[in-house]
Amino acid sequence: MKNQVLTTSGWLNMQWDDEFLTWDPNEYGGVEDITVAQKSVWLPDLLVENTAQNFAELGSDTMLVSIAHTGHMSWEPGILTKTICEVNIGKYPFDFQECEIKFLTWMHTNKTLDVQPGSDYVSLDACIQNGEWDITEALAKPYFYPSTYRPGTAHTGVTFRIALHRKRTFYVLNTIIPVVMLSLLNVLVFLLPASSGEKMALAVTVLLSFTVYLSIISEVMPKTSESISILAVYLTLLLSLSTLSVLSSGVVMNMIHQDETRPIPNYLKGLLCCRMRQIRQRLKIQQRRRQLEHDHSFHNGDFLLMRKRGPPDGTAGSGGEGRKLLEERHPHSHVNHGVLHADGVGSVGGGGIDGGGGVVRVVGLEKDSHQLRAAESSPLFRNDVKDDVDYDVWNYITWLDVGSSIDNLLFWVFLVITVSSTVTVLLLFSY
């Protein structure tokens, strides 16, 4: 039904009485019925009215007609017909269609020939299952059409109404589920870091995937403007969102590569209201790191092992809190006359425990970036950072912060639109 044409194969069972074809079986050796070629007897001039091809008479010269001695005629012509069927693709592929096959007398009117259905239902006992459609109902109704050459009369016939239900398993597995999964990938684009080069690649890939699916569905869907497919609208919406994700990814990547000296507009800074705490914590850690890197005890590759504040009175000594914490952290070491002896660690020079600052500095470790990060991630370091001076965060916002904030905002916007549109489409399909 891609081209709104229904192809039907079957046969008709037509019966009528012909008073000119009667005989007495006793006069003809007990013959009660005979079978002759259909061209040898009179037949009703029935044609398929809503055909999608050339008008043609029913049957062929090779088909036969059964004649009883009472004049009762039985004719069962086989047909293979293509009829016009207007489809409604609004709920494609969860759609129901109703098609009609109309048989009508071509020249005879109801004055000379009256055609009526013999039953209200069409027999489906010999129906062969179709891989795409299920026949849910088949009815037969009388049909007439006003005569164009004899006013006041009508051409009579029969209309067969066939209700069809599309089988949806194939479309769910090959169209619906992949499209929904692609819609989630469309949202996950904004979870990638703003500085990641794969961000743009993923956005473009998802955009191309939606384009391919939209072209596939357009090929298999009936072409009509009488109704609009919900699935096509849904795909168009996702394609639009994917296009916007590609554009936004380009804008964000352009932002993060801006010159650091270029000032950030205030309206962009307003997008970072929800990220101020993270930025403030990051600035404190950076400030503490700079202090450590410029500390005089780091000039020979010294490394901060731990920091512990002294007592409230500011006094500390070899037996103070620093000594106690050090002994707890290094049970195999001891402090004596300002020298720290530990297995594989080194020694403390120039007053191993600083009572005022409570800092234990260990000599002999290489100032390595991994070690510095490990120290910064320790609870002792983070507790110390909290006591530093508060910052005016607005002056330390970078373009990378702006890009990450925009990505975070777009993630929630796209997620809400995608989920709400998907749920809406599924609900519309269920009704």
Tell me: pLDDT of 387 over 70: no
Residue 39 CA from chain centroid, whole number: 59
Higher pLDDT: 285 or 348? It is 285
Q: Is 210:217 a contact under the CB 8 Å cutoff?
A: no
- Show the domain range for 304: 276-393
What is the pLDDT averaged over residues 314-319? 42
Whether pLDDT at 127 is above 50: yes
Query: CB–CB of 168/94 below 8 Å?
Result: yes
Q: Looking at the DSSP assignment, which residues form a beta bridge with residue 66?
A: 35, 74
Rounded CA gap, 352 and 34, in Å? 125
Examine the pLDDT at 420 and tell me if it is beyond 90.
yes
Domain boundary among 167, 187, 214: 167
* Nearest CA-CA partner of 284 in 403, 399, 392: 392
Residue in this structure with the two tokens 């009579």, named with its chain if needed: 156
SS3 335: strand
pLDDT at 368 over 60: no
CATH number of the domain within which 111 lies: 2.70.170.10
User: Nearest CA to 183 among 427, 430, 416?
Assistant: 416
- Do 192 and 308 reside in the same domain of the chain? no
Q: Judge whether 176 lies within some domain.
A: yes
Asked if pLDDT for residue 297 goes beyond 60, the answer is: no
| 212 and 149 share one domain | no
- The per-residue pLDDT for 276 is 60
- DSSP letter at 56 equals -
End-to-end C-alpha distance for the chain, whole angstroms: 23
Q: Residue 123 contacts by C-beta under 8 Å, 6 or more apart in sequence?
A: none
Give the confidence band of 55 by pLDDT, cuts at 50, 70, 90.
confident
The residue among 268 and 155 whose pLDDT is bigger is: 155
44 found inside a domain: yes
Q: Quick one: what percent of the chain has pLDDT higher than 90?
A: 27
Average model confidence (pLDDT) across the chain: 76
Whole-model pTM: value is: 0.63
Same domain, 23 and 37: yes
DSSP state of 264: P
User: How many CB atoms neighbour CB 100 within 10 A?
Assistant: 18
Instruction: Select from 148, 167, 186 the last residue of a domain.
Output: 167
> Rounded CA gap, 57 and 151, in Å?
25
pLDDT of amino acid 294: 58
Give the tens place of pLDDT for each residue, 162-173: 999 999 888 889
Domain end point (choices 116, 148, 167): 167
Q: Are residues 106 and 190 in the same domain?
A: no
- 217-229: pLDDT as tens digits: 888 888 888 888 8
Confidence check: pLDDT of 249 > 50? yes
User: Nearest CA to 14 among 43, 57, 34?
Assistant: 43
Residues 144 and 186 in one domain: no
- Using the predicted structure, report yes or no on whether residue 323 has a pLDDT greater than 50: no
Pair (46, 156) in one structural domain? yes
For residue 262, tell me if it sits in a domain: no
Residue 402 falls inside a structural domain: no
Give the mean model confidence (pLDDT) for residues 376-390. Answer: 47
Whether residue 14 contacts residue 113, with contact meaning beta carbons closer than 8 Å, is answered with no
pLDDT (mean) for 289-308 = 49
Nearest to 138 by CA among 127, 148, 149: 127
Residue 389 has pLDDT above 60, yes or no: no
Q: What is the DSSP pairing of strand 64-68 with strand 72-75?
A: antiparallel
- Assigned domain for 218 exists: yes
What is the number of other CB atoms lying within 10 angstroms of the CB of residue 283? 19
Residue 268 pLDDT exceeds 60: yes
CA distances from 212 to 3, 140, 202, 348 (A): 21, 43, 15, 68
What are 59-102's pLDDT values in tens digits? 888 889 999 999 999 999 998 999 999 888 888 889 899 999 99
Listed in sequence order, the DSSP H helices in 137-275 are 169-171, 177-188, 198-220, 230-256, 266-269
Total domains in the chain come to: 3
One domain, residues 216 and 358 = no
Q: Which two tokens stand for residue 251?
A: 């804008």
Within a domain: 39: yes
pLDDT in tens, 3-43: 889 999 999 999 999 999 999 999 998 999 999 999 899 99
pLDDT at residue 83, as a whole number: 93
Q: Could you tell me if 59 and 177 lie in one domain?
A: no
pLDDT in the model for residue 342: 40
Residues 163 and 178 in one domain: no
Identify whether 270 is part of a domain: no
> Which has more confidence, 394 or 398?
398
Domain assignment of residue 154, yes or no:
yes
321-326 long-range contacts, CB within 8 A, separation 24+: 321/358, 322/353, 322/354, 322/355, 322/358, 322/359, 322/360, 323/353, 325/360, 326/353, 326/360
Q: pLDDT band at residue 320, thresholds of 50, 70 and 90?
A: very low
Q: Compute φ and ψ for 210, nearest 5 degrees.
A: -65, -35
Half-sphere CA count of 391, side-chain side, radius 13 A = 21
pLDDT at 220: 82
Residue 29 shares a structural domain with residue 133: yes
Phi, psi (degrees; rounded to nearest 5) at 193: -55, 145
DSSP codes, 67-101? EETTSEEEE--EEEEEEE-----TTTTS-EEEEEE
Please tell me the distance from the alpha carbon of residue 184 to that of residue 427, in angstroms, as a whole number. Answer: 19
- 104/177 same-domain check: no
Report the alpha-carbon distance of residue 93 to residue 78 in Å, rounded.
32
Higher-confidence residue: 73 or 271? 73
Output the domain CATH number for residue 193.
1.20.58.390
354 and 280 inside one domain: yes
CA distance 397 to 276: 9
